[in-house]
Amino acid sequence: MNRKLLALARDNEGTGAGIRSEVADDVTTIYVYDVIDGFWGVSATDFARELKAVTTPKVLIRINSPGGDVFEARAMMTAIADHPATFTARVDGLAASAATALTIACDAVEIAEGGFYMIHQAWTFVMGNADDLKATAELLGKIDDVLVDGYAERSGKSADEIRAWMKAETWFGAQEAVDAGFADSVIAVTGKKAKAQARAFNLSAFANAPKALTEKQPEIDEGPRHRALARLGLYDRTA
């Protein structure tokens, strides 16, 4: 059995901010800031419930997610396809693995400066006998075929190129995602903010996660600043 999916969901339990929505004028914004998972994060049921309440003609889905369960993501894609609104996906920090399925279901895709986009072959978690595992492997192959078709349609790349990227677990920076055709534009924000949001997740389940998202940031020594402020306060009291 593939334990990576379990590790991804379990290790990021409580890390994300879940799902929420807000309405301004003619746009409903839905935030998917968590693992996509029916137990440890945002489920397809959660997403469908938010979407069911949407009455505006436009929907902005803001994403910061390391991915998760591909079947949950497929159900989210179906919910988007069945809704009459026009959808824009915005990658605020990270759209990895199953989270990219949300982007290819949308009419337009934006990615923040400093954001990341990653595609790979589908994962799932299964228990059972040899026949069960064989059936699941065949199903995953079909899911990969559907994902390849979706990525190819959005990007304009060949199916062979998409499959190679998926097999290699390929990570794209913001401009790289645009150049590859997965996103339409880069949104000018503070790059450090997008990267900080992406760094919120434990990405150890992935083989090729960029060091920028996995290396521990050096702690800033606040001692000098505090001592300077203390001296300034002493000066103010004695002046």
Tokens of 203: 């990405």
Cβ atoms of 183 and 117 within 8 Å: the answer is yes
Domain with 230, as residue range(s), is 4-238
* Spatial distance between the Cα atoms of 107 and 86, rounded to a whole number of angstroms: 7
Tell me what pLDDT residue 165 has: 97
CATH assignment of the domain containing 208: 3.90.226.10
Tell me what pLDDT residue 1 has: 38
Comparing CA positions, the residue from 179, 186, 171 lying closest to residue 119 is 171
Mean pLDDT per 10-residue segment, the chain (239 residues):
57 72 96 89 94 96 92 92 97 94 96 94 78 85 90 96 96 97 90 65 84 65 58 55
Q: Which helix (H) or strand (E) holds 64?
A: strand 58-65
Tokens of 39: 């137990």
- For residue 140, CA distances in Å to 86, 121, 144, 147, 237 come to 29, 8, 6, 10, 70
pTM: 0.80
Tell me what pLDDT residue 207 has: 86
Tell me what pLDDT residue 192 has: 61
Amino acid identity, position 210: P
Number of domain units in the chain: 1
